[in-house]
């Protein structure tokens, strides 16, 4: 049996830096948009054109039924077509969805491995794709805002997606935590409503307001709701990936959740841990959980402590990752150095 590690290059491979004039593909490999909100795509293409890019919009974007844009065969064919087209330098879906996993077995991964790497940027169910793409190829991918959020944001953090995707191999990019984040989303309004102070927290040091922490390692992660169903499938060769890349440097997992209570979060993290996903982990970043509730007096801190406390893996939570904007753009495969103190933090990523 061939291990995926035999297929990886000796180092993470980064797509070519995004440049003015480049072609960006907008497709919906998970959920598309109903007719009443098509204006969001027109807004997004206009915004990208304003930044100096060209766009190609796939047919999947314009429809949505039973939580998906198109039948899985059509979504897979469109994604493969965009990934194999050398003219398309980045793929940025509008947003996530529910069932992207249906297309993973339909993709020709051998062809995708032989093609030049393409930037893929997104979060929520798109992290099913970004995570798998990196695990199956050794090509870097980007977890961050979808194209609807990109065009509807005016904050200093969301816009940094462009700095990361245009970075050259070997270059470093630093992002800082937001000052405020949004508690209620409303796509009818042009911008985020950043109304709540942001405070990154260090697990176990919540009562020490001046506490600080530094972490270093290679980034991997995504949305827990959709990553854990990949465990035990061919599309998540995580232990091969971990064994192949920089065990000495170690890994920093970044994870966020949507629609999960504290008990759900614990079960998902427990499963990831039992599957060996947290080998060589130097630290964990947990995004602000969306749709979250405790289970009686069992809170997210209890879930994190139960999984990471015994292993003495440091955890920073309430980080700018995921469904409660604004969010960092994090590169799967990049080397990162994270500092947090007094509730604020920085993430420096180096594309090496």
Measured on CA atoms in the order 81, 159, 157, 166, is the torsion positive or negative?
positive
* Residues assigned a catalytic role: 124, 256, 323
Residue with tokens 């996903």: 277
Residue 202 pLDDT: 97
Q: Is the pLDDT of residue 190 over 90?
A: no
| Class for the domain spanning 175-350 | alpha beta
Q: Listing from the earlier edge strand, what are the strands of the sheet with 344-350? A: 172-176, 344-350, 335-341, 212-223, 251-256, 281-287, 315-319, 201-202
Residue 5, pLDDT score: 65
Cβ atoms of 263 and 198 closer than 8 Å: no
pLDDT of residue 210: 84
DSSP 49-116: HHTT-EEEE-GGGG--BTTBSS-HHHHHHHHHHHHH-TTEEEE--S---S-GGGGGGGS-HHHHHHSP
Q: Is 223 exposed, middle or buried (0-12, 13-18, 19+ CB in 10 A)?
A: buried
Higher-pLDDT residue of 186 and 119 is 119
Please state the domain extents for the chain: 4-170, 175-350
What local confidence, expressed as pLDDT, does residue 209 receive? 74
Quick check: do 4-170 and 175-350 share a fold?
Answer: no
Return the higher-pLDDT residue of 210 and 17: 17
Contact 33, 26 (CB under 8 A): no
pLDDT digits (tens, 9 = 90+) for 142-175: 999 999 999 989 899 999 999 999 999 999 999 9
| Antiparallel, parallel or unpaired: β 23-26 and 88-91 | parallel
Instruction: Please check the confidence at residue 352 and state whether its pLDDT lies above 80.
Output: yes
Q: Residue 1: its pLDDT value, please?
A: 46
When the pLDDT of each residue in the chain is averaged and rounded to a whole number, the result is 95
Asked if 120 contacts 99 with a C-beta cutoff of 8 angstroms, the reply is no
Digit-coded pLDDT (tens) for 124-141: 999 999 999 999 999 999
With a CB cutoff of 8 Å and minimum separation 6, the contacts of 110 are none
pLDDT in tens, 284-331: 999 999 999 999 999 999 999 999 998 999 999 999 999 999 999 999
Count of H helices and E strands in the chain?
10, 16
Q: For the segment 68-80, what is each residue's pLDDT rounded down to a tens digit?
A: 999 999 999 999 9
State the residue for tokens 């979504």. 75
Cα separation, 285 vs 269, in Å, equals 13
Per-residue pLDDT of 196-236, as tens digits, reads 999 999 999 998 878 999 999 999 999 999 999 999 999 99
Averaged pLDDT, 222-251: 94
Q: Which listed CATH number (3.40.50.10740, 1.10.1060.10, 2.60.40.3880, 3.40.640.10) goes with 4-170? A: 3.40.50.10740
Residue 180: per-residue pLDDT: 97
What pTM value is reported for the model? 0.96
> What pLDDT does residue 2 have?
55
């Amino acid at each position: 049996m061939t291990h995926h590690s035999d297929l990886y290059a000796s180092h993470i491979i980064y797509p070519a830096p995004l440049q003015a004039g480049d072609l960006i593909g907008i497709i919906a490999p998970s959920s598309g948009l109903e007719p009443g909100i098509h204006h969001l795509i027109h807004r997004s293409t206009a915004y990208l054109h304003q930044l100096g890019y060209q766009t190609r919009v796939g047919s999947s974007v314009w429809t949505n039924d039973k939580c998906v844009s198109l039948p899985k065969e059509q979504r897979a064919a469109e994604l493969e077509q965009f990934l194999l087209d050398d003219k398309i330098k980045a793929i940025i879906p509008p947003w996530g969805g529910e069932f992207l996993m249906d297309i993973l077995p339909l993709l020709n991964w051998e062809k995708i491995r032989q093609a030049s790497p393409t930037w893929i940027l997104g979060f929520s169910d798109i992290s099913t794709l970004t995570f798998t793409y990196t695990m199956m190829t050794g090509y870097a991918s980007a977890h961050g805002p979808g194209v609807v959020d990109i065009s509807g944001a005016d904050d200093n953090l969301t816009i940094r997606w462009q700095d990361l995707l245009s970075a050259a191999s070997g270059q470093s990019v630093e992002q800082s935590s937001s000052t405020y984040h949004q508690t209620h989303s409303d796509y009818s309004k042009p911008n985020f409503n950043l109304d709540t102070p942001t405070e990154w927290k260090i697990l176990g040091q919540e009562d020490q307001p001046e506490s600080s922490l530094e972490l270093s390692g290679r980034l991997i992660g995504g949305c827990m709701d959709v990553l854990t169903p990949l465990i035990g499938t061919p599309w998540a060769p995580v232990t091969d990936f971990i064994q192949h890349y920089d065990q000495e440097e170690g890994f920093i997992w970044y994870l966020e959740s949507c629609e999960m209570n504290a008990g759900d979060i614990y079960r998902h993290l427990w499963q990831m841990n039992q599957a060996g996903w947290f080998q060589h982990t130097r630290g964990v970043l947990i995004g602000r959980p969306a749709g979250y509730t405790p289970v009686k007096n069992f809170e997210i801190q209890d879930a994190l402590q139960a999984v990471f406390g015994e292993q003495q893996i440091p955890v920073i939570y309430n980080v700018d990752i995921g469904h409660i904007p604004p969010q960092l753009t994090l590169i799967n495969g990049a080397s990162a150095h994270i500092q947090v103190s007094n509730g604020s933090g920085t993430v420096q990523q180096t594309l090496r």
